[in-house]
Structure 1
């Protein structure tokens, strides 16, 4: 893995590694830490997270990054190298999932802010509304599955330690109906809400 490029590093990364003399360290980190199969520790960490960050790009490579939140367990490791998560009602733009329809490359970042730790997952995503997992997620509109190509932990030293005050009341839960987001009550959006949006009935 000392070539100019490698499966882990492209020419731009190599140029900066060489400038700062970190190529050897980068190669060793990839050799020792990167994997394509989730460990038991990976599974436990991912499934304990109430949030993650999702990075996608469109067909031209224009990037987008989103925060995804839910109850712990809303992301599931479904196989040795696969995870899945639900898509809940959002702002209707479908920026992340729309990107995945034209470019399945995806990156996920899982962070524990209370006990600083983080894990990256890069892979290829697919979307389905008839996925059998959908029935097991309250409020799910679609299911996203990610086939992992690189799983690797990151140094947590710059993570600011934070404490969760309370979970979001908007996260779908069995036996409850999430409140309507305040912004969907604004008059400027009233005439363009989706036909089945609860905000229509709540006005």
Structure 2
């Protein structure tokens, strides 16, 4: 969300509120403006409170939303030991990026569009979430160590080295209430799941098999090869 004046044309009160023009229009249409304003007034801040910083220090996962210059969105998942997302101050946090599938979708979006949203959810103890929206920049490991003293340690990911870091300048932060958040229990990921099921691999959704079948169907048959080479 970004700061905008109320967008209701002649009904604009001049009041400065968080949020997008679209959400304000819908609040007017569905008569939820007073309820939304109470949420803005009570819950939305432009920095990380002490309680938020303590909450982040315990988190082991984050959902990261980015979009490219055209607005095409991507949401991804990041995880690590508690505190793998480091709080550098009440308006700045930073998280590590590791070598993955080589696509670099999130970082590519950040190159075009710095807006970023992070959602942290505590599924295990307090059943509450925290939204953090802001502006992102890509930082090399060398720069992260030189400027912030960040090194690979047990808080980053044991046995893994961060290729780069993403610095987020916080623009707003607010609660995600506990309603409907399920309670999870932690389990060693190396253990087999129900009925001895193995952890999901790259063939789980059938895409490699589908692509292989498509490639096979496009191969010329023997008779066609003979005609071509005849």
TM bin, normalised by shorter chain, reads: 0.7 to 0.9
1:4 Cα deviation after fit: 2.2
Conserved in 1, the CA contact under 8 Å of 2:44 and 2:172? yes
Judge conservation of contact 1:125–1:145 (CA < 8 Å) in 2: yes
Residue 55 (1) aligns with residue 77 (2)? no
Supply the distance in 1 between the matched residues of 2:48 and 2:6 (Cα, whole angstroms).
Answer: 27
The C-alpha deviation readout for 1:24-49, integer Å capped at 9, x for no partner, is 11112111211122111101111111
SS in 1 for 2:131: strand
Distance 1:2 1:82 in 2: 26
| Worse-matched range after superposition: 104-113 or 122-131 | 122-131
User: Which blocks of at least 5 consecutive residues in structure 1 are unaligned?
Assistant: 170-180, 189-203
SS at 1:77 equivalent: strand
| CA RMSD after TM alignment | 2.4
Aligned counterpart for 2:39 among listed residues 29, 39, 43: 29
TM-score, with structure 2 as normaliser: 0.69
TM-score (norm 1): 0.78
How many residues are treated as equivalent by the alignment? Answer: 174
Query: What is the CA distance between 1:15 and its match in structure 2?
Result: 2.3
**Residues 124-163 of structure 1: pairs in structure 2 closer than 5 A:** 124-129=135-140, 130=142, 131-132=144-145, 133-136=149-152, 137=156, 138-163=160-185
- In our comparison, the structure showing a higher alpha carbon Rg is 2
Contact 2:131 2:173 in 1 (8 A): yes
Q: Distance in 1 between matches of 2:174 and 2:105?
A: 26
1:119 to 109, 114, 130: 130
Once the two structures are superposed, what CA deviation does each residue of 1:165-184 show, in whole Å capped at 9, x if it has no partner?
Answer: 13679xxxxxxxxxxx975x
Pairing 1:109–2:119 present: yes
5+ residue gaps, structure 2, are 9-15, 192-199, 203-207, 209-230
What is the rounded CA distance, in whole Å, between the counterparts of 1:109 and 1:11 in structure 2? Answer: 22
